[in-house]
Structure 1
């Protein structure tokens, strides 16, 4: 995770590393769990002889941090390498004929000293023999390195399964036309993108320099410039949420991805700048897997944007960070309160939406819904329980004949 300010400096010889913040640890945990869950889903096919997977870390940094307690914390390159190793071991337990995971890794950072530090970190973790083989280090800006990396990914093959980790510092290092290019040129790509939304919105103004910066990342047409001044004047409490809605829809459109989920992360502090941790994919199952992980780590959600897909982690509400329980919203309260609220909203919304169509597969319902709710597949099915039980919605199995009494069916339609 390369950063431009002086806080983020790596030097292996002097053992100079940044100190990682709690909110960044949460982000790393999500990356770790998603890679492992991604592999588990793909390897459910017991006949698959091997799995091919590539990881591209576009802002890799030096690969190591101080953890603030006298120890060290490894960055996303090490997390990705070792998540794949752990997954291979786990998925081969009790198998007579083991299956391998063939992976290719591209770690990119614009600073030579960061790449040098990363090389040393990889060596200490036993990965040195892989450098130049299936681990490639690039000293370059990500957007400049992208065409060469994409060519190598195509040569590697393996279904072009690749996960891009794009932990940019601000919001302008990865223009959305480049993300669209990724989806257009790599058939099974996914992107995990950090987007510093609070910084963008806080300083948003209808000035030429500001408009140019937004235009450079491809979102200029999604900002309501003509009404921005009025929004700030007449919606002083809500205008930022309104702009976030426009931006989220713009990101979805300009990225070219079919599915998007947004997890906001707020660092500790009195006035922290929150950012979005965005998952973009063209695979429905990938989106649902990521949502399940978000529910695990979320401890806050944005009521102004519900029932859209905005929920996340606030370090100021984490007892492990503050040492104080949040009397208003602890982790379990988040689970219960958010579950109840979202299922309640969906219980009213979904029967009307379903009734508009004579019959549709459950996957079709989820495909149309998933970008507009934080609910994963299980919660959507639970939200339909009442409508099915009362007969407002008919649920049948895959054969189209066997009736279901709960939201576990394959098809929904009016009775």
Structure 2
């Protein structure tokens, strides 16, 4: 994935850049998600084939020196190709009739040197026979290539499934109008987007050129410009967290997606600038799968977005990088099993209130409604509901049999959640609502 001038590929000299540890984590997330994407789509053993388009909008030259300075690390185009091939092989183990993934790959980069180097790596890896057949390296600015890419995806006879990998260097290369176009015109699209949030926030001021930069990516109207100076003066550190919330809201709305996860990544260094690795989708299942992967690679969290639920990766907290154990304190601390328990405890208090506000709902519908407000996955939410069940604050029933669930871990997606008939006083509605006859309280 292409970056700034730090990342240069030159086929004539055979030189290519060294990858950073934080970028390797990003590549692992991409690899795991492609594998999970295919596995979930083909979970029905009777499906003979699926089609998928993978578009890498900032593909780079396809190869890096490993961060140890010795080995080789392949870039996102090769990761995509290898992962699809390996996953197909895995799902066909012991099968007499092989199943198929029909994939088209579009690797886009604005620099000719990067595309030239990528072509050489594709040849080295044994993919050259697929160039201009299933693999299409394109020298172009991504936004310029997008209309033609969408046209090709819509012509693909197998499906409009498309995974866009948009690892832009800054935050200005992909306006959210382009992402909105993707979701409007491509039937089953998902986007993985790098967004340099710290760089953007550092740049914020009320000067016209600053506002224009955000206007160009469709986020200008989400910044409270009139209050910005006051925020900076009265909230020395908190104002940045507040702006992050405004930006996250704007990104979701302007993208046209229904579901979003934000995974923050902090590079190594004295003054690292944190960026977001954002997953955007219209499918709740896609959102849930990505959250599981984020939990796998998260080693840190903060309160920047929602209480205790903003998960990410901090290079300084990776002992494989630093060779030492780091312990954080206060609002941000080392990410371990305690994190999940803390989130579970917080949700145990919050969820009964949410269930009371919407008295009858399924577990699945509740998860969809809260998906953009929490990084908690389904297993954490199930455990968070265990104590409210024991305390008889809520009741959970099997939709078909009416069987009452006795523990949170046994809750199914179709189960019905409702306030318990005998609720604790803590969850009773306001007297005014009872007097107006809006709610009936059972008296056993």
Using the size of structure 2 for normalisation, the TM-score is: 0.91
1:361 matched to 2:359? The reply is no
Aligned to 2:396: 395
1:166 matched to 2:171? The reply is no
Residue 252 of structure 1: how far off its partner (Å) = 0.6
Taking the aligned partners of 1:305 and 1:100, their CA distance within structure 2 comes to 40
Aligned to 1:382: 383
| Partner SS state of residue 334, structure 1 | coil
Does the 8 A contact of 2:244 with 2:304 survive in 1?
A: no
Does the 8 A contact of 2:327 with 2:334 survive in 1?
A: no
Aligned to 1:44: 43
Taking the aligned partners of 1:327 and 1:361, their CA distance within structure 2 comes to 39
1:285 matched to 2:285? The reply is yes
Does the 8 A contact of 1:172 with 1:217 survive in 2?
A: yes
Does the 8 A contact of 2:19 with 2:65 survive in 1?
A: yes
Taking the aligned partners of 1:367 and 1:346, their CA distance within structure 2 comes to 15
Aligned to 2:240: 240
Aligned to 1:65: 64
| Partner SS state of residue 296, structure 2 | helix
Q: How does 1:53-132 map to 2 (within 5 A)?
A: 53-69=52-68, 70-132=70-132
Count of matched residue pairs: 413
Aligned to 1:190: 190
Q: How does 1:402-413 map to 2 (within 5 A)?
A: 402-407=403-408, 408-409=411-412, 410-413=415-418
Aligned to 1:414: 419
| Partner SS state of residue 116, structure 1 | helix
Residue 157 of structure 1: how far off its partner (Å) = 3.4
Does the 8 A contact of 2:104 with 2:135 survive in 1?
A: yes
Unpaired segments ≥5 residues, structure 1: none
Larger radius of gyration: 2
Aligned to 2:20: 21
Does the 8 A contact of 1:308 with 1:372 survive in 2?
A: no
Does the 8 A contact of 2:119 with 2:128 survive in 1?
A: yes
Which stretch has the larger CA shift, 170-179 or 89-98? 89-98
Which stretch has the larger CA shift, 228-237 or 401-410? 401-410
Aligned to 2:341: 340
Q: Per-residue displacement from partner, 1:238-276 (whole Å, max 9, x unpaired)? A: 111110110011101100100000000000011100100
Residue 395 of structure 1: how far off its partner (Å) = 0.7
Taking the aligned partners of 1:90 and 1:401, their CA distance within structure 2 comes to 39
Residue 327 of structure 1: how far off its partner (Å) = 3.4
Taking the aligned partners of 1:398 and 1:96, their CA distance within structure 2 comes to 39
Taking the aligned partners of 1:258 and 1:87, their CA distance within structure 2 comes to 28
Aligned to 2:424: none
Q: How does 1:262-301 map to 2 (within 5 A)?
A: 262-301=262-301
Residue 358 of structure 1: how far off its partner (Å) = 2.9
Unpaired segments ≥5 residues, structure 2: 421-444
Q: Per-residue displacement from partner, 1:352-405 (whole Å, max 9, x unpaired)? A: 111222311111101110100110111111100111122221111131511111
Does the 8 A contact of 1:259 with 1:282 survive in 2?
A: yes
